[in-house]
Each structure stands twice: as structure tokens, then as C-alpha cells.
Amino acid sequence: MQRRPFGTTGMELPEICFGTMRFAAQEPGDDPRTHAGKRALEEALDLGIDFVHSSYEYGTRWATGEVLARHPNRDRVRHIIKVNVPDWGEPTFEPADFRGQIEDALRELHAERIDIVQHLQRGDIDRRLGYDDRAEPRRVDEFDAVLDPLREVAQRLRDEGLIGALTTFPYTVGYARAAIGSGAFDGVVAYFNLLETEMVEVFDLMRERGMGFIGIRPLMAGLLSDARIDRTALPPGDRMLEASWDRAYDQLAEARTLVDPHIGEGGIAPSWTSFALKFSLIDPILASTVVSINSPEQLHEALSALEGPRPDPDLLPQLHRITARFRDEHGVRADGAGVPQYER
């Protein structure tokens, strides 16, 4: 597994980060999917994928903790966790809540340190708007009040050796600009895949400031994998049949005119899963991509997906023109925005 620098933090991260959101049942139990996921995490750690993403919200920390508790490479693992303060309905940033989420994670993950904190500011905004562009002005306004106490508590936790880098999870480009401009963050963590290219608009700004970038959901929750690329072939009940994904499939149809020639015979990737994973690391600013791995088979597929040539960097601005046009026409991101993504 190749490693890449995370901005100027000095951290070298593996290209793939193990995302734990989908690999286990929400409660301990005898779910076969959980067994497959736990075996995948064990094997990933054996193979040196020492970078794990988690959140208390996924309800899968119990299983992550069970694997880590007995794994010999536990102390080498770098953790990235999502920390939501203020959360929905909370009007102010409470440093004790921030510290509490860090301390809970350290205990549950059997870790000494959280290497990367991914800060998400929700707040007392209309939850139905979620994080979409209509909610952005409100979140940006409230960011000013969040900044000082966030900086202060993060510095204290750093001095205590409990956390490393502080990053922002901005959701929208406008919020990203405000967060990057504040100088409080070492990097940005955001969705990044063939259909969610928005953050390319702030790559130069990040580079100027020596910031790193970690992409999330390279397969766009599975839509860009071979199993879901053809929507007409999905089994009843699949999450991608929900109306909220219509817009993403519409955008995909346009993106395919640029992408199809690169996949299969004569292309640089044998499959959609492979191409999408390669694309998610298309710019050197990307240190790692956080992918949900639910079984040993998916782990091996993801590892071999990254072998061989990588896409031409020119593809990014071309695809971003499609992303931007869809955003301008529909006013929301490709996933329909609004609804918190971890619920999808």
C-alpha cells in the first residue's frame, strides 16, 4: 500500500482508510455481515492499512473496538474520528462535549491518541436543510462563534497528547473557504469521488496553506461500484433505488461520456470499482480515501483496484464542470443533500 503525505503535518497515510460505517450491525449480535466485516478489518490491519475512520454515530464502534482490542498492530493504527459540536439543535460550541467525544473514542477504540479530528459544525439550524447550500450562510455566520473555543480546546488536547491534527468537515465550498481562511485547521475532510468534485475549488487555497485533504466515499456510497452502476439491475430494496439518488444517476449518465472509455478493454481500469478508487486519489493533495470495506473480498478488490496506471489529472476539471452545472441547476449536491449522509 502506497503512502502519501497529509499536507505539512508530517503524517504519511496509506492511500486507503478503512471506513467502519457499514461493516457491522448497529448492535452486538450474530449478524453474518458483522463477521465478514470484522475479518476484513483484521486482515486490513495485518496488511498494514493502519488508518481507521469511525464515529460514535455509526453504531459500529463496538465491533471496531472488539477487533482493535486484540490486534497486535493496534498501537500503530492512526485514527480519524468525526466530532460533531455543536450537534443538531445545540446553539453553542461546548468544549466539554468536544473533549467528551474524544475521550469516549479513545476508550472505545483502545487508543492512546486520535491522530486526526474531523470537526463537523451542525448547530441550531433547520435539520431538514441539513448541510445544503441553503443552510450554508447560517453555518458560516455561526462559525465565528465556534472558532475560538474550538481552537482553545483542541490546543489543550494536543498539549495533553490526546489528539494530533485538527481538520474541518465543511460539506459546502463556502464553509470550506471560511474554515481554511481561519488558519485553525491542518486539513480538510470531504466527500470526493467522480460525482462529488466540489472541493477542487479550494485545492489551491489548501495548497497555499500547506493543508492536506482526505476524501470520503470514493464509491459514492456504492453507486460507483460495479454492483450498482446499472440502476436497472439493482435488487428490490437496494438503497440506490430511493428517489433521493435520482439526481446522482442523472449526473452519472453525463459523466459516463467522459469515463466509459477508461474502463475495460483499452482503458486504465478493469472495472468501475477500480476506476472510481483510482479517481479518488487523482490529485496529490489527496492523502487517503475513506472507503467502507464490508468483507475480505471487498478488501482484496479495493487493494487490487489501485494497481496499474492512474487517471489523467485533466479528467478532474472536466468532471467538475458537470458537477458545477448540476449544482447550479439544482442548487444541491449530487446526493440530494439535506439528509445527513450517515443515515443513507
Ligand X SMILES: NC(=O)c1ccc[n+]([C@@H]2O[C@H](COP(=O)([O-])OP(=O)(O)OC[C@H]3O[C@@H](n4cnc5c(N)ncnc54)[C@H](OP(=O)(O)O)[C@@H]3O)[C@@H](O)[C@H]2O)c1
Binding site residues, ligand X, CB under 6 A: 19-22, 53, 55, 82, 169, 216-222, 225, 227, 273, 290-294, 298, 301-302, 341-342
Q: Nearer to ligand X by C-beta: 217 or 333? A: 217
Three-state SS at 187: strand
Q: What is the dihedral of CA 244, 245, 250, 253, to 10 degrees?
A: 180
Q: Nearer to ligand X by C-beta: 197 or 273? A: 273
Q: Nearer to ligand X by C-beta: 78 or 217? A: 217
CB of 214 to ligand X, least distance (A): 10
Q: Which of 193, 277, 227, 191 lies closest to 16 in space, CA to CA?
A: 277
Q: Nearer to ligand X by C-beta: 164 or 215? A: 215
Q: Which of 53, 50, 107 lies closest to 83 in space, CA to CA?
A: 53
What DSSP letter does each residue of 316-337 carry, written as one string? HHHHHHHHHHHHHHHSS-TT-S
CB of 208 to ligand X, least distance (A): 25
CB of 162 to ligand X, least distance (A): 20
Q: Nearer to ligand X by C-beta: 106 or 227? A: 227
> Residue 214 and residue 188: Cα distance in Å, rounded?
6
CB of 207 to ligand X, least distance (A): 23
Residues 6+ apart with CB under 8 A from 206: 7, 180, 187, 188, 212, 213, 285
Which residue's Cβ lies closest to ligand X? Answer: 19
User: Could you give the C-alpha distances from 84 to 71, 101, 195, in angstroms and in order?
Assistant: 28, 8, 25
CB of 290 to ligand X, least distance (A): 4
CB of 95 to ligand X, least distance (A): 21
Cell of 128: 431538514
Q: Nearer to ligand X by C-beta: 314 or 343? A: 343
CB of 117 to ligand X, least distance (A): 12
Q: Nearer to ligand X by C-beta: 302 or 334? A: 302
Chain-centre distance for alpha carbon 294: 16
> Residue 198 and residue 169: Cα distance in Å, rounded?
13
CB of 180 to ligand X, least distance (A): 18
User: Could you give the C-alpha distances from 39 to 42, 63, 299, 305, in angstroms and in order?
Assistant: 5, 11, 10, 20
**Strand residues in the chain grouped as ranges (E):** 3-5, 12-14, 16-19, 51-54, 78-84, 114-120, 163-168, 187-191, 212-216, 286-292
Cβ pair 262, 275 in contact under 8 A: yes
Q: Nearer to ligand X by C-beta: 22 or 207? A: 22
